[in-house]
Structure 1
Amino acid sequence: MTTDTRTTDGTAVRRTLADRLAAFINEASSPILANPLVSIAVGASTGSWRWTALLTVFTGVLPAGVIFGALAVQRISDHHVTDRDERPLIMASILGSLVLGLAVCLIGGAPGPVTAVDAAMLTTLGVLAVITIVGRWKVSVHSAVWAGIAAMLALTFGPWALLTALAVPVVVWGRVHVRDHTLPQAVVGALTGAVVAGLTFALIH
């Protein structure tokens, strides 16, 4: 099944069911949505809604504000920050939010899992930033986020939560299908998220 959409110059583009499914997956798996959700889930496991709210601000609300603020002033082309050259500023700004969040957690004596989430996101994004900026290679943040989520949820709630890892190949496929990333970029992103976020979270929580 295909449908026609039109570009700004009026050219017809054929969109298949797979195209539409991939577009939906990319929106639904956006780190803008995923990061606050895992922050709420892990934060709630500690029983502290105050720390859950603070964690969500630093890992979700402020990063989303950075992205949509940059979009509003046309510093980036889209909320997925598809253009690699636009990523350094966004990554640096979000790293700043995560560093501030980690400082608040350490100074305020946050529960271990809350601190661990912030630290895991910080270290993972730091590695992704090095690959993106120094290596000049657009590794997938979407894939890294979902692999990291699976690792953190499994360490928090037990092995059954590893079922969330089933989302990772779906996200990888979506990123590759819309041609925002190559398969190696999406796979390396997933491996980075699983290893870096998983190890950091395990060491701290």
Structure 2
Amino acid sequence: MTTDAITTRRRPLDRLAAVVNEISSPILANPMVSIAVGASTGSWRWTALLTVFTGLLPAGIIFGALTRRRISDHHVTDRDERPLIMAAILSSLVLGLAVCLLGDAPVPVTGVDAAMLATLGVLAVITIIGRWKVSVHSAVWAGIAAMLTLTFGPWALLTALAVPVVVWGRVHVRDHTLPQALVGTITGAIVAGLTFGLIA
């Protein structure tokens, strides 16, 4: 098979991987799980507040940094650009958790914020101290599957089917190695799952 034929055959997979990476972005995924779990409590006020601290503010941080050219892309592909972004998003999650605790938020709402905070904290340690670019995408989706299953029951475990697709997408575009994506997956499932389970 010629090089041109191989390239042509790979292009659809490349485009598919790019789409997977965009729709699985934490910028979209975090608000999704916040709305889903928040809505299960029946409190739209707390759902909105949770979505602000776990989704809208972090997205604002990322796009603000992108506008100021502090980062090269909204996936924060460059590992050296990640510490500042992670620190800023951790601050948003800490503020959100404080609001939840002081305002006596529904337990699942507090659980989501705490789970995201704990997961990102572990990822930050691996990234900054370990100097290893662990996959946030994979961690987020594994954590989502865990939290939704604990909230809605076993049928929600079907969301875990998205995790290998996300892992494939991150590896295919070479933003991460397979070990980095798998460690992200394990971290998200264990840290987010345990944190949310203990609180909610």
In the superposition, the TM-score normalised over structure 1's length comes to 0.93
Q: 1:141 Cα shift?
A: 0.1
Secondary structure in 1 matching 2:77: coil
Runs of 4+ in 1 over 4 A off after TM superposition: none
2:114 and 2:105 mapped to 1: Cα distance?
A: 12
- Aligned to 2:60, which of 42, 62, 65? 65
Gaps of 5+ in 1: 5-12
**Aligned position for 2:151:** 156
**Aligned position for 1:184:** 179
Q: How many residues align?
A: 194
Secondary structure in 1 matching 2:69: coil
Comparing 14-23 and 27-36, the one that deviates more: 14-23
Q: 1:43 Cα shift?
A: 0.1
2:133 and 2:76 mapped to 1: Cα distance?
A: 10
**Aligned position for 1:55:** 50
Identity percentage over the alignment? 85
Following superposition of structure 1 onto structure 2, how do residues 34-113 of structure 1 map, counting pairs within 5 Å?
Answer: 34-113=29-108
2:191 and 2:37 mapped to 1: Cα distance?
A: 17
Q: String of CA shifts for 1:68-94, please: whole Å, max 9, x gaps.
A: 000000000000000000000000000
Which one has the bigger strand percentage? 1
1:158 and 1:103 mapped to 2: Cα distance?
A: 28
1:168 and 1:191 mapped to 2: Cα distance?
A: 11
Q: 1:150 Cα shift?
A: 0.1
Q: 1:140 Cα shift?
A: 0.1
1:177 and 1:54 mapped to 2: Cα distance?
A: 35
1:201 maps to a residue whose letter is F
Q: String of CA shifts for 1:148-205, please: whole Å, max 9, x gaps.
A: 0000000000000000000000000000000000000000000000000000000001
1:54 maps to a residue whose letter is L
Following superposition of structure 1 onto structure 2, how do residues 134-145 of structure 1 map, counting pairs within 5 Å?
Answer: 134-145=129-140
Which one has the bigger helix percentage? 2
- Aligned to 2:125, which of 130, 134, 153? 130
In the superposition, the TM-score normalised over structure 2's length comes to 0.96
Q: 1:116 Cα shift?
A: 0.1
**Aligned position for 1:201:** 196
